[in-house]
Structure 1
Amino acid sequence: MDIAKCLTVIDLLSAREFPAEDSRSDLGTAGPGYSMAVLETSRGMSAAEPWVRERAAADMHALREAIAQRLNDRWGEQPPWGQLTVRLRMGRGEAIPEPWASLSLHTDELDVWRAEEAGRWVALGVADRDGTDEIRLLATVTEIDPP
């Protein structure tokens, strides 16, 4: 997916109502207070050699950075949000709300913006923590404050 299409998907997620229950949609998954879409997925990286997978992950991160630059132009540049602390808090038994809990398990870092006009948060991250799974670029829109 090119940058313009990714931004269009993020705009669609931002404009949609959130479902009352966890569900799948034409763009991805959603639940009470959030919607998540896979903007891009690697092909064949779940079984790739480590160096091939590393190169594909770098390409996915480059796409994330290009999209993040466009979103920085809209909402201002924000420091990246590391996910290790959230994972540690979950490991100690703290309840972390969705979509933040799932994002922390799949990504090491997120770009996060507050879209004030919509009253929502927008998060962008690369799901590449599981070496047996495809690499995915995730966009999430939520009204739930980050933990």
Structure 2
Amino acid sequence: MDIAEYLAVIDRLCAREFPAERDRSDLVVGGPGYFLAELEASHGLRPGCAERRAGAADDFHALKEALSEVLDARKGRRQQPWGMLTLRVRRARGEAIPEPWSELSLRTDELNLWEPDETGRWLAVGVADRDPADGIQLLAAVTAMGPP
């Protein structure tokens, strides 16, 4: 996909009704009040290839920033990068963190975040690269609830 296709996915998610229960279709997970979409994924990265993985992660972070620049023009300037460490700590202490924030906190280190516009929905974009045994993904979350 390219940035125009990512924007089309995000626009569709902003316009769709949220599902009543957790559901997965294609590369989108949805639940009450949220969607979480995999916009792009790495392929063929093996855990033992740290240098290649680091290069791919850099490419995904650059892609996130390029998408974010376009989203800034469409939605207004994003907030400061939203770090996920606090949510991970709160989750580890037993606090219930709502979705999609709980899953995002486990998969990403920080998010670019936009407050609701005329859709009334928050938008977050991040790179899932925390697990060295897993691929790298560019993720977008559309949610009715801001970060906890």
Secondary structure (helix, strand or coil) at the match of 1:104 reads helix
Please give the TM-score of this superposition, normalised by the length of structure 2: 0.95
Counterpart residue number, 2:73: 73
Q: Deviations over 1:22-60 (max 9, x none)?
A: 001244110010011100000112435100000000000
Counterpart residue number, 2:54: 54
1:71, 1:140 → 2: CA distance? Answer: 13
Q: 1:138 to 1:125 in 2, by over 3 A?
A: same
1:18, 1:51 → 2: CA distance? Answer: 39
Counterpart residue number, 2:147: 146
AA of the residue aligned to 2:109: D
Moved beyond 3 Å, runs of 4+: none
- Residues paired across the two proteins, number: 147
Secondary structure (helix, strand or coil) at the match of 1:146 reads coil
Secondary structure (helix, strand or coil) at the match of 2:115 reads strand
Please give the TM-score of this superposition, normalised by the length of structure 1: 0.96
2:25, 2:116 → 1: CA distance? Answer: 22
Structure 2: segments with no counterpart, 5+ residues: none
Q: Is 2:97 the partner of 1:96?
A: yes
CA RMSD of aligned residues (A): 1.1
AA of the residue aligned to 1:22: R
Secondary structure (helix, strand or coil) at the match of 1:47 reads coil
Q: Is 2:35 the partner of 1:35?
A: yes
Q: Deviations over 1:58-117 (max 9, x none)?
A: 000100000000111122222110000111111111111111000000000001101320
2:51, 2:68 → 1: CA distance? Answer: 25
1:121, 1:68 → 2: CA distance? Answer: 14
1:5, 1:91 → 2: CA distance? Answer: 36
Q: 1:75 to 1:130 in 2, by over 3 A?
A: same
Identity %: 59
